[in-house]
Amino acid sequence: MGRKILPVLIGVLVLGLFGFSQDALAFSPESLDTTGVVGQATSIAIGSDNFPVISYFDSSKFDLKLVHCTNTTCSDWDAPESLDTTGFVGSFTSIAIGFDDFPVISYYDALNRDLKLVHCTNVSCTSADVPITLDSAGNVGRHTSIAIGSDNFPVISYYDVTNGDLKLVHCTNTTCSDWDTPESLDTTGVVGQDTSIAIGSDNFPVISYYDSINFDLKLVHCTDVSCTSADVPITLDSADFVGEFTSIAIGFDDFPVISYYDALNGDLKLVHCTDVSCTTAVVPITLDTTDFVGQFTSIAIGSDNFPVISYYDVTNDDLKLVHCTNTTCSARDAPESLDTTGVVGSYTSIAIGFDDFPVISYYDGTNGDLKLVHTIPIPTGPISADHYLGYDAKRPKDEPKFEKFTVELSDQFEMEPTEYTVEKPDRLYNPVQKTHDGTTTDITDFESHYVGYKIKTPKGDPKFEKVTDVLVQNQFGDIIVDVKKPKLLLVPSAKSHTDEFLDVLDNPVNHYKCYDVKVTKHTPKFKKLVVTLYDPNFEIKQEFEVKKPKHLCTPVQKTLEDGSVTPIEDPVNHLMCYDVKKLKDDPKFEKLSVFTNNQFGPEDLEVKKVKQLCLPSIKTLP
């Protein structure tokens, strides 16, 4: 099911969206289900296979449905599944990925006025357990929101229509076949619509919701895992007619951040808490005031650690997005319209994909379809990172042998921290000026060098599984490669010809994990080309033949044996390193010695011939 799509440029999607100023590419908004009237009440999560999975309501048949994407961008997908077809079910859906790696969905049974849940028994949800009724006391189960608690069991917030209360139910196993007695968390007035739940940095649930008597945004913080006890509910915004369409996430600073709608002014608003339980918060911020905007908000924390919010533009019937440029969202990019075709953009749900870019599900009201858009930047000019010239670099023979040690590395190909043995220094990379086809790319950071260390999987550990059909884009054009085993760890380093007592480099630059690559079969081969390179560090300026891609280097988080962590600074900018060779009649490189220092310690290196040219690049997973 599904079809391949061509990406279309929809204009500037937030300059600097994820670490660099670029035009951006949004994959053409795709209709994932067009059968009947479908796509309201969407909820999206990234599955354990790293692909999006979306739950939604089929209002033609009154069924709960789900669609599973079969790649990162959702340009291909499985046939939609009907998970519950009994009576009038499937509105107010919310999806999460369980501890067993399978989707679990909460939703409303409108016929019986109950809260229901279904647990899938595989990643794509082609099979599932029998749906369960979790609460049947009166008219309950609207406005559901689900999360996986710190005990690895689902926890669901929802609205009790009968009593006008905010309720919560905590499951006591992974499949939710058993659960605690539902709890009423706020019983003052008529409260609990538009609930949104997250698990706080203290491991306890925190829920945002709407007070429809006072027209306020409220929040309640649980004080245990199952929410049998909770703090007194808090009003976060009491300006007139605010608090509908809430969505909550836990920010990079470990504090809740909530997006919501200001109905009086027709604006999108956000409030950022300044402690875990949200007893204090900054003054609410208005993010978009253009026309009537801000319904159906959904918030996530981007790969740059800043909030990103999808929402509905009521005036223009468009899907919109705004990206914050700091943790509190006091600074942000200009809001962007992602889909403007017909009446689109209600019932939005946002997640950050495996490729680190937002993916949003939403409803197409014109056609009655479920839609999805995936956003990704593309290079339209020089990417804001330096080129590097790589040299053979070894310890001198009279130096003691390098003492091997282990590190844990986590990147976009191996997201779980994975242990590697650091074998020895093997390369030195200097920033370099490149001229190609009459265009010169200058050096921006003369201080940051890299020492490349050989790395190896410890004996007995599972080997890296090859990833095929990875698109890499840079100033040499587009190329599709297969990513093979990891070979090098590039560590930011200070370098000197004369000073052996260097300080460790403190510039905020990435570490990189470099994988062997090979051009994917039946895709265009790399065409050799000639570039002029100038390395002011070694006073080299000459032409080189660029032969073929050798390594794809991904931003990597590094954890040393003492537990110290060096995070990724910029998840977007990668390096593609190409084998290079001097032209036949040009002089050979004269061997020299340098001193380096980095987090692994000082090194005296003997630098030999030029081996590689590394270009700033971005990658797109298949």
Q: Are 72 and 470 in contact (CB under 8 A)?
A: no
What residues form DSSP beta bridges with 186? 166
Q: What are phi and psi of 308, to 5 degrees?
A: -135, 135
Asked if residues 375 and 356 have their Cβ atoms less than 8 Å apart, the reply is no
Average pLDDT over residues 414-433: 94
For range 427-443, the mean pLDDT:
93
pLDDT category of residue 377 using cuts at 50, 70 and 90: low
Between CA 306 and CA 324 the distance in angstroms is: 6
Residue 8 has pLDDT above 60, yes or no: no
In tens, the pLDDT along 528-583 reads 999 999 999 999 999 999 999 999 999 999 999 999 999 988 888 899 999 999 99
403-413: average pLDDT? 94
Percentage with pLDDT > 70 across the chain: 94
Distances (CA, A) of 494 to 268, 543, 561: 46, 26, 22
Q: What is the pLDDT of residue 387?
A: 96
**Span 298-319, average pLDDT:** 95
Q: Considering only 173-177, 198-202, 256-260, 506-510, which range has the smallest mean pLDDT?
A: 506-510
Average pLDDT for 126-152? 98
Q: pLDDT category, 282, cuts 50, 70, 90?
A: confident
Per-residue pLDDT, 71: 87
Residue 19 clears pLDDT 50, i.e. is over it:
no
Q: Sorting pLDDT into bands at 50, 70 and 90, what band is 506?
A: confident
Model confidence at 28, pLDDT cuts 50, 70, 90, reads: low
The dihedral region occupied by 536, where left means phi > 0, alpha psi between -120 and 50, and beta the remainder, is alpha
Is 50 exceeded by the pLDDT of residue 10?
no
Each residue of 30-55: b (16+ CB within 10 Å) or e?
A: bebbeeebbbbbbbbbbbebbbbbbb
Residue 4 reports pLDDT greater than 50: no
Q: Is residue 18 over pLDDT 60?
A: no
Residue 380 or 333, more confident: 333
What is the mean predicted confidence (pLDDT) over 125-145?
98
Pair 207, 195: CB distance under 8 Å: yes
- Distance separating alpha carbons of residues 113 and 289, to the nearest angstrom: 37
* Beta strands across the sheet bearing 165-170: 140-148, 154-160, 165-170, 183-186
Q: Which helix (H) or strand (E) holds 536?
A: none
Ordered by where they begin, the domains of the chain are 7-16+36-377 (2.120.10.10), 387-620 (no CATH)
For residues 594 and 499, give the distance between their C-alpha atoms in angstroms, rounded to a whole number. 9
User: Is a pLDDT exceeding 70 seen at residue 412?
Assistant: yes
Q: What is the pLDDT of residues 64-104, one digit of tens each?
A: 999 999 988 888 899 999 999 999 999 999 999 999 999 99
Q: What is the pLDDT of residue 370?
A: 98
* Six token digits for residue 225: 């895992």
Q: Counting runs of H as helices and runs of E as strands, what totals does the chain give?
A: 0, 43
Which pLDDT does position 376 carry in this prediction?
62
In the chain, pLDDT over 90 holds for what percent of residues? 82
User: pLDDT category, 497, cuts 50, 70, 90?
Assistant: confident
pLDDT score of 350: 98
pLDDT at 222 over 60: yes
584 pLDDT above the threshold of 50: yes
Mean pLDDT of the chain: 91
What is the tens place of the pLDDT at every residue in 164-200? 999 999 999 999 999 999 999 999 999 999 999 999 9
Residue 7: the pLDDT is 32
**Would you state the pLDDT for residue 171?**
98
Asked if residue 424 has pLDDT above 60, the reply is yes
CA distance 491 to 513: 9
| Residue 506 backbone zone (phi > 0: left; psi -120 to 50: alpha; other: beta) | alpha
